[in-house]
């Protein structure tokens, strides 16, 4: 009997051990699998999941001297959970094999990479892309980028950057969506949707909302500098885009480098635990920025790496990029009782959860397929998408005498070193895009103008911003012989991106002098401005008859510029950052407060908030951009003049294409909450519509505003709706608007 009983027991035991563990069973719900896995992991292995190392090249300062071999060994030991900067189907596969086949529990790695505006097919920089105000297009662009990256073995990208910024001295304004929180939110959400899809196939990747929080408010636009803003500003101006991206389902959020209220963001309990997790209910995981955990020591907030690990975890941050503070110190912190196992489990829960969600436990090489990789990159369809995105991003700032589009020209002079220099076309965040795949402005124009038009080219200046008499003389010579002169000016793409702050975001002197000299030829003069930020264009305004802001447009730059210059595409971009009148005016932005001493327009009294030497207004305001046609606004109406708190108010306006070609207009709606318990900006964008009208066509454009649009945040982050007078303004940019008034009861 006893014998039969022990046989039975043995049978049960054998059966149980033959069954695969719950975490390996694809039929189990993800949460069951995570819990089962957590139950099998040592504290050391758990700490390993918090460790994110750069596997290949560096996108930040070197923080360790670990070589590739050592990183492989750490992977074997389960001491690395994820890598950034290992890319490619084969490369990711080899490293994944080590994690899956040689580590004790076979937990797959996540592979991450900064893909700011495309992987191989490079799209316009995000700032430019936002100038399209075309959310469908923006979402599509991100999904193309995700498809390419996912085919190269990647699971995760550090985008979108949701930092609002008013400061073109900061090189990273190129990565965001400009100065407006509402538009910034819509654009960020579109980018998240495009990147992630529903994360259940192998063509989408995880997004990362960064840099949390308020990194765009760095003082004087100097990279990595201090931020000192109030909660009032935090909630009303800086947080909305991050929130919109989180609400769109972003899987991860990245800490910023800066302090908020004296505490580095990585260790900031208010930002991470209180706001992001508790108030917003963020369900993903938080990753540090490059060594931002370690930099808590430099900030003077943590004593050493052990203190760093403790403070980051206590704040709610979890994954450690390039500091190795977690992997080295968490086991001791647990042993000493400073961190509970429950806290540690909470910190890695979502990291594991997303590894399951991506399907990596069931097929760790799902993303690493060399054949798919080869077939996915830079396809004609991807290029076409990039071209459409690029031409939709261009902003026509001036077009005196309708110089553009080019008409009946036989000889075109193209001047400007950047028009041919592939090395200067791209910015720092170029991912795997290569200049050789890109179309220069010169080549784009050459293709578009064909053989019937003579295109002559000289550089006119050097790419470092300097010039010479010879370069100038050559330029004048070809200009004199041309029907129209196109001058590509600006600053090198290499000056856009991280670690590229500039005290003078201006057109270099040699280029200004070049324009002055060219204007004297009496030829129609078009400036094509290439830059990753709005530059001060005040001193070129008198010389250039037309100005096209061409930003940094990516792989299809030249074709897109040619489409606009020739009129194949009628420009529709509207700038999402104010163009400063002078450097000393920075930061300048449309949604400022009235102050106690504002200048009523058209007057110039004393003792007011103003400059003595320049106007208060920017050179080109937020939302501004011309078209080859013109649009008239008339008959603005509100459907009521008094509205209750739960009502909606209808706003309508008739927009007419008053020119002679079809065109697309971005009809913008702004409000002003005249009196409130916390002061409100003089204008706030609350809605917009992109409409295309044939010549002579009119359309009634209707908007509806409700409680959400009319409320603002108090300093605890609660939306407040206060009765009183509201002004509604509608127009084609933030300056030229028609207005109506209503009361909220
Ligand atoms: C940047 C991040 C980036 C990270 C990884 C940091 O220096 O601030 O935006 O995602 O590096 O490359």
Per-residue pLDDT for 12 more than 80?
no
Per-residue pLDDT for 603 more than 80?
no
User: 624-666: per-residue pLDDT in tens?
Assistant: 999 999 999 999 999 999 999 999 999 999 999 999 999 999 9
Note the pLDDT of residue 67: 84
- Residue identifier of the C-alpha nearest atom 12 of ligand 1: 59
User: 338-371: per-residue pLDDT in tens?
Assistant: 999 999 999 999 999 999 999 999 999 999 999 9
Note the pLDDT of residue 599: 86
Give, for ligand 1, the residue of 289, 429, 496 to mutate: max count of ligand atoms closer than 8 Å to Cβ. Answer: 289
> What is the rounded average pLDDT of the residues 105-130?
98
> What is the rounded average pLDDT of the residues 273-279?
98
Whether residue 59 has its Cβ less than 6 Å from ligand 1: yes
| Residue corresponding to tokens 């090198």 | 492
- Residue identifier of the C-alpha nearest atom 11 of ligand 1: 290
Beta bridge partners of 287: 254, 319
Per-residue pLDDT for 518 more than 90?
yes
Give, for ligand 1, the residue of 115, 162, 290 to mutate: max count of ligand atoms closer than 8 Å to Cβ. Answer: 290
Q: Report which ligand 1 atom has the smallest distance to the Cα of 59.
A: 12
Distance in Å, CA 62 to ligand 1 centroid: 13
Distance in Å, CA 365 to ligand 1 centroid: 26
- Residue identifier of the C-alpha nearest atom 6 of ligand 1: 290
CA distance 492 to 507: 11
- Closest to 586 measured CA to CA, from 166, 179, 272, 279: 166
Q: Which residues contact 12 (CB under 8 A, 6 or more apart)?
A: none
Whether residue 193 has its Cβ less than 6 Å from ligand 1: no
Grade residue 606 by pLDDT with cuts at 50, 70 and 90. Answer: confident
Q: Report which ligand 1 atom has the smallest distance to the Cα of 499.
A: 7
Note the pLDDT of residue 596: 95
Rounded-to-10 torsion of CA 470, 474, 476, 480: 150
CA distance 573 to 526: 17
Per-residue pLDDT for 8 more than 60?
no
Per-residue pLDDT for 721 more than 80?
yes
Note the pLDDT of residue 601: 64
Per-residue pLDDT for 687 more than 70?
yes
Q: Report which ligand 1 atom has the smallest distance to the Cα of 161.
A: 9
Grade residue 16 by pLDDT with cuts at 50, 70 and 90. Answer: very low
Give, for ligand 1, the residue of 87, 114, 206 to mutate: max count of ligand atoms closer than 8 Å to Cβ. Answer: 114
User: 393-448: per-residue pLDDT in tens?
Assistant: 999 999 999 999 999 999 999 999 999 999 999 999 999 999 999 999 999 999 99
Strand pairing of 110-113 and 156-157?
Answer: parallel
Residue 466 — φ and ψ, nearest 5°? -85, 165
- Residue identifier of the C-alpha nearest atom 4 of ligand 1: 290
Whether residue 567 has its Cβ less than 6 Å from ligand 1: no
Q: Report which ligand 1 atom has the smallest distance to the Cα of 85.
A: 12
Distance in Å, CA 83 to ligand 1 centroid: 13
Distance in Å, CA 19 to ligand 1 centroid: 43
User: 466-512: per-residue pLDDT in tens?
Assistant: 999 999 999 999 999 999 999 999 999 999 999 999 999 999 999 99
Rg of the chain over all Cα atoms, to the nearest angstrom: 28
User: 178-209: per-residue pLDDT in tens?
Assistant: 999 999 999 999 999 999 999 989 999 999 99
Distance in Å, CA 353 to ligand 1 centroid: 23
**How much is the mean pLDDT over the chain?**
96
| Residue corresponding to tokens 């931020």 | 227
Share of residues in the chain with pLDDT > 90 (%): 94
User: 34-91: per-residue pLDDT in tens?
Assistant: 999 999 999 999 999 999 999 975 556 666 677 888 999 999 999 999 999 999 999 9
Note the pLDDT of residue 2: 52
Give, for ligand 1, the residue of 53, 56, 60, 287 to mutate: max count of ligand atoms closer than 8 Å to Cβ. Answer: 60
How big is the chain, counted in residues? 745
Distance in Å, CA 254 to ligand 1 centroid: 9
Distance in Å, CA 648 to ligand 1 centroid: 42
Q: Which residues are catalytic?
A: 289
Find the angle CA(126)-CA(512)-CA(450) to the nearest 5 degrees.
Answer: 65
Note the pLDDT of residue 14: 47
Alpha helices in 236-379 (DSSP H): 239-247, 269, 295-299, 305-315, 325-335, 341-357, 370-376
> What is the rounded average pLDDT of the residues 543-558?
98
Note the pLDDT of residue 569: 98
- pTM for the model stands at 0.96
- Closest to 594 measured CA to CA, from 727, 412, 440: 727
Whether residue 212 has its Cβ less than 6 Å from ligand 1: no
Grade residue 3 by pLDDT with cuts at 50, 70 and 90. Answer: low
Whether residue 322 has its Cβ less than 6 Å from ligand 1: no
Share of residues in the chain with pLDDT > 70 (%): 96
Distance in Å, CA 158 to ligand 1 centroid: 7
Q: Report which ligand 1 atom has the smallest distance to the Cα of 60.
A: 7
> What is the rounded average pLDDT of the residues 315-338?
98
Distance in Å, CA 125 to ligand 1 centroid: 16
Q: Report which ligand 1 atom has the smallest distance to the Cα of 321.
A: 5
Note the pLDDT of residue 632: 98
User: 447-458: per-residue pLDDT in tens?
Assistant: 999 999 999 999
CA distance 540 to 549: 13
**How far from chain centre, in Å, is Cα 727?**
31
> What is the rounded average pLDDT of the residues 279-286?
98
- Residue identifier of the C-alpha nearest atom 10 of ligand 1: 158
Whether residue 210 has its Cβ less than 6 Å from ligand 1: yes
**How far from chain centre, in Å, is Cα 682?**
26
Grade residue 20 by pLDDT with cuts at 50, 70 and 90. Answer: confident
């Amino acid at each position: 009997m006893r014998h039969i009983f022990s046989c039975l027991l043995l049978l049960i035991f054998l059966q149980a051990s033959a069954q695969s563990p719950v975490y390996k069973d694809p039929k189990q719900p993800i949460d069951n699998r995570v819990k089962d896995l957590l139950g099998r992991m040592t504290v050391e292995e758990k700490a390993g999941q918090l460790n994110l190392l750069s596997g290949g090249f560096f996108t930040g300062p070197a923080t360790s001297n670990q070589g590739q071999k050592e990183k492989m060994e750490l992977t074997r030991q389960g001491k690395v959970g994820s890598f950034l900067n290992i890319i490619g189907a084969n490369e990711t596969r080899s490293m994944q094999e080590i994690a899956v086949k040689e580590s004790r529990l076979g937990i797959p790695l996540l592979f991450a990479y900064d893909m700011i505006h495309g992987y191989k097919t490079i799209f316009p920089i995000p700032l430019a892309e936002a100038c399209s105000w075309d959310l469908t297009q923006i979402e599509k662009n991100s999904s193309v980028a995700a498809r390419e990256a996912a085919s190269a073995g990647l699971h995760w990208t550090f985008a979108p950057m949701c930092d609002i910024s008013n400061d073109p001295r900061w090189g990273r304004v190129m990565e965001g969506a400009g100065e407006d929180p509402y538009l910034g939110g819509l654009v960020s959400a579109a980018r998240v949707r495009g990147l992630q899809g529903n994360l259940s196939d192998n063509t989408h990747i995880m997004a990362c909302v960064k840099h949390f929080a308020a990194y765009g408010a760095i003082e004087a636009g100097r990279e990595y500098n201090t931020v000192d803003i109030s909660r009032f500003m935090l909630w009303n101006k800086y947080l909305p885009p991050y929130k919109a991206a989180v609400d769109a389902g972003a899987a991860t959020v990245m800490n910023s480098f800066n302090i908020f209220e004296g505490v580095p963001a990585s260790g900031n309990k208010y930002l991470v635990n209180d706001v992001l997790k508790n108030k917003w209910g963020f369900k993903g995981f938080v990753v540090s920025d490059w060594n931002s955990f370690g930099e808590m020591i430099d900030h003077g907030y943590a004593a050493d790496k052990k203190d760093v690990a403790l403070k980051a975890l206590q704040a709610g941050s979890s994954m450690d990029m390039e500091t190795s503070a977690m992997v080295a110190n968490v086991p001791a912190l647990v042993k000493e009782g400073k961190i509970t196992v429950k806290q540690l489990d909470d910190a890695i829960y979502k990291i594991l959860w997303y590894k399951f969600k991506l399907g990596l436990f069931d097929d760790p090489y799902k993303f690493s397929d060399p054949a798919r990789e080869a077939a996915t990159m830079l396809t004609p369809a991807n290029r076409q998408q990039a071209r459409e995105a690029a031409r939709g991003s261009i902003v026509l700032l001036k077009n005196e005498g309708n110089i553009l589009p080019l008409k009946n020209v036989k000889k075109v002079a193209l001047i400007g070193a950047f028009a041919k220099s592939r090395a200067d076309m791209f910015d720092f965040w170029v991912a795997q895009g290569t200049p050789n795949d890109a179309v220069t402005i010169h080549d784009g124009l050459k293709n578009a103008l064909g053989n019937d038009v003579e295109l002559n080219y000289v550089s006119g200046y050097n790419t470092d911003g300097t010039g010479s008499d010879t370069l100038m003389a050559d330029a004048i010579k070809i200009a004199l012989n041309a029907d129209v002169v196109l001058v590509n000016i600006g600053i090198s793409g290499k000056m856009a991106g991280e670690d590229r702050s500039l005290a003078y975001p201006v057109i270099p002197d040699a280029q200004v002098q070049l324009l002055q000299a060219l204007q004297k030829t009496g030829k129609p003069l078009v400036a094509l401005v290439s830059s990753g930020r709005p530059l001060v264009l005040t001193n070129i305004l008198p010389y250039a008859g037309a100005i096209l802001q061409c930003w940094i447009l990516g792989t299809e730059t030249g074709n897109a510029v040619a489409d606009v210059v020739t009129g194949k595409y009628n420009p529709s971009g509207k700038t999402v950052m104010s163009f400063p009148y002078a450097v000393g005016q920075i930061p300048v932005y449309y949604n400022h407060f009235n102050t106690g001493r504002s200048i009523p327009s058209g007057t110039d009294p004393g003792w007011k908030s103003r400059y003595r030497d320049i106007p208060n207004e920017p050179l080109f305001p937020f939302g501004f951009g011309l078209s080859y046609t013109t649009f008239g606004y008339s008959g603005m109406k509100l459907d009521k003049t008094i509205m209750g708190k739960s009502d909606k108010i209808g706003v309508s306006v008739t927009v007419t294409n008053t020119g002679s070609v079809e065109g697309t207009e971005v009809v913008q709606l702004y409000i002003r909450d005249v009196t409130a318990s916390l002061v409100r900006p003089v204008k706030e964008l609350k809605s917009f519509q992109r409409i295309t009208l044939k010549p002579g066509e009119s359309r009634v454009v209707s908007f509806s505003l409700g409680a959400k649009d009319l409320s603002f945040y108090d300093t605890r982050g609660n939306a407040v709706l206060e009765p009183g007078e509201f002004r509604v303004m509608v127009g084609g940019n933030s300056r030229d608007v028609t207005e109506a008034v209503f009361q909220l009861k």
